[in-house]
Amino acid sequence: MIHYIVIWPAISMICMTLMMMIAIRLFSNAAVDYEIKREIRKSTDNNRRNLSVVNGKLEIADGFSYQSDNVSFVVLKRNGEILAGEYPENIRSDMENFPIRNNLSSALVCDGATYYVRDARIGRMGGKGLFLRGFLKKSDADSVYRKLEMGSYLMISGMLCVVLFGTLILAKRISKELKNMCQTAEHIGSNLDMSQRMRCEDHMFREIAVLASANNRMLDRLEQTFRLQEQFTSDVAHELRTPVAVVLAQCQYAREKVRDASDYQEVLDAIYRQSKKMNTLITQLLKFSRLDQDRVQMQEEVLDLMEIVQSVCEEQQEKGNDTIAIHLHLHEAVTTGDISLIIIVIQNLVENAIKFSYPDGQVDVETGENSGQAYVRVTDYGIGIEPEKLENIFRRFYKCDQSRNAEGFGLGLPLSLKIAKKHGGRIDVRSTVGKGSEFTLWLPKK
């Protein structure tokens, strides 16, 4: 299998190695050239000191040598005639034709090989110059450098192999771990099995482990959302089942035989009540869905909470809840928001307070401003909520006591909280079982 993850690093490593080799080659050529010229100059100058022209004759001291290290020597006249020493046979004619250049090191190609030549003036003989010529074959002198160069190539290639091999092993491990993640994702996608999680172990690469745990956290949230969705569908079906069953039964009863007018009236009343209940549920669900999808166009305006509370409470009293006394304690409370949404919240809180009060009880509704916020506080002295249930009351379809709240759907408080949050506010609750509850809606003060 090709590990695409290593292709680019491998290509760049190979390119870098090639570039390093070319650089070594260029530098070593220049270094070899410099070193050989230095060597031939040193040997020629040293050897030159053993030669002199005395009384028109060439004197050769004992220290003179025709071969020193790799350099060979001949003594020449200006016209190229050799006085002492000799050229090897294969390069003789080329060397003889090569012009004398005093104190200059030059390269020439003879018999397919490169030679370095250096001439040093000894003196004058017979009116003409006399020179010592040192020459050496490049391949004799540069073998050490070439070995070093080869050594460098081998070392670089070895390092390249080690790095490539290491990279390949790393890539294999990374690919394997990524492949596992992909397989898990594929499995979740095709089977919608939200219980699966990506492997996240200590020996894994940190970055991959971080990616896997981030994916797992996302899957946790998705699973929770899926579960809520399923729960939501089953709750809606459950809430609709009873009213639909009642409507069907009433219709069945009316169709069985001809009934008198009062029977039909009763049937119609029952169907009306159940339809109204279904209508309330559908309206609340629609509100939720619109708020969830941010499809509610908020009509922002300055709201006087004292006025709104007053009108909501009057409406409640008119509805016939006169066994419960509503006491208003109204102080200035101004906010901004959508009046139709804020009314829904206040209505819910007041209706709940009335619903869960003891007969002939009292509900206190207070408005005011505190710490830069406007508030509406609804206090009842009714049945209260158990502490362990308190945290659930804002969950959709949650009812603390099914039998006491057969009419409700458990949607009022979650909807109210959603609206409060949409306005930048919150709802606080305090409750004691058997003593009552206090719900406070907080909204930013205008």
CB of 409 to ligand ADP, least distance (A): 5
Query: Which residue, 97, 95, 79, is CA-closest to 87?
Result: 95
| Separation CA 235–CA 231 (nearest Å) | 6
Cβ nearer to ligand ADP, comparing 300 with 401 = 401
Site residues (vs ligand ADP, CB under 6 A): 348, 352-353, 356, 380, 382-385, 393, 398-401, 405, 408-413, 437
| Separation CA 84–CA 61 (nearest Å) | 13
The dihedral built from the CA positions of residue 407, 409, 415 and 417, taken in this order, carries a sign that is: positive
Query: Which residue, 361, 320, 345, 328, is CA-closest to 441?
Result: 345
Cβ nearer to ligand ADP, comparing 121 with 389 = 389
CB of 430 to ligand ADP, least distance (A): 11
| Separation CA 51–CA 56 (nearest Å) | 13
Q: What is 351-410 written as a DSSP string?
A: HHHHHTSPTT-EEEEEEEEETTEEEEEEEE-SS---HHHHTTTTSTT--S-TTTTSS--S
Cβ nearer to ligand ADP, comparing 171 with 345 = 345
Q: What is the DSSP letter of 423?
A: T
CB of 435 to ligand ADP, least distance (A): 11
Residue whose Cβ sits closest to ligand ADP: 408
Cβ nearer to ligand ADP, comparing 350 with 374 = 350
Query: Which residue, 114, 112, 113, 76, is CA-closest to 97?
Result: 76
| Separation CA 402–CA 410 (nearest Å) | 10
Cβ nearer to ligand ADP, comparing 225 with 392 = 392
Cβ nearer to ligand ADP, comparing 130 with 411 = 411
CB of 281 to ligand ADP, least distance (A): 10
CB of 282 to ligand ADP, least distance (A): 14
| Separation CA 161–CA 170 (nearest Å) | 14
CB of 364 to ligand ADP, least distance (A): 12
CB of 348 to ligand ADP, least distance (A): 5
Cβ nearer to ligand ADP, comparing 341 with 411 = 411
Query: Which residue, 226, 271, 212, is CA-closest to 245?
Result: 271
